[in-house]
Amino acid sequence: MFRMFDRHAKRPDRFGGDQTAVYAGEWFEIDESSYSYMLDILPPLWMRGPTFAMREFMIGSVTSVFYAIRIDGAVRYFHTYCDLSDPNSIEAMRTTIVDREIRPVQAMSREERLEHIWSTTTDDYRGYTGDRWPKSMQGHRTVMLYGGKEGTFLKLLDTLSDDEIAAKLPVNLRHLPASLAA
């Protein structure tokens, strides 16, 4: 959970400009003990039923919001980043989570697959393009790939082929059709 809190820590422009869009709208599932731990760290900024916001802000008006949501008969726990300058962000995020998690077939879009790869790849094997890349590509996310006899190489995350995406997914998802991977 703590590694996921700032999966953009190595962004080259991390402290430049308005970074609200980088964080606002991100979410991931956590376990009940992590949810309880975060509730016990500091008094929350506010609490509405099983939803609470952290007192410390990530950036600007964006802070961590934690949800306990009943989905398919079971309570599940989520961490999100919401922009509290938008009064609808809390309920919109809850709706986004529920809509995603109640799909009959939990298919992942290409974007969700790329985000999964980015989130689960360790910092040593992911990064951002720098000065050696063309100016138009600088600051884009990269992942390390194994190219067989050619060895390892960096590739822009957004340009991974379907085969490369499948190879980077967890083993239990590699052989599922794209519409069934979750």
Exposed/middle/buried for 168, CB within 10 Å: 0-12, 13-18, 19+?
buried
Give pLDDT tens digits for 150-169.
788 888 988 988 888 888 87
pLDDT at 72 over 90: no
Cα-to-chain-centroid distance, residue 85: 21
Q: pTM of the prediction?
A: 0.61
> Residue 150 has what DSSP assignment?
G
pLDDT of residue 66: 94
- Which of the residue ranges 1-10, 72-81, 94-103, 112-121 would you say has the lowest mean pLDDT? 1-10
Q: Residue 21: count other Cβ atoms within 10 Å of its Cβ.
A: 10
Place of tokens 């309570």: 75
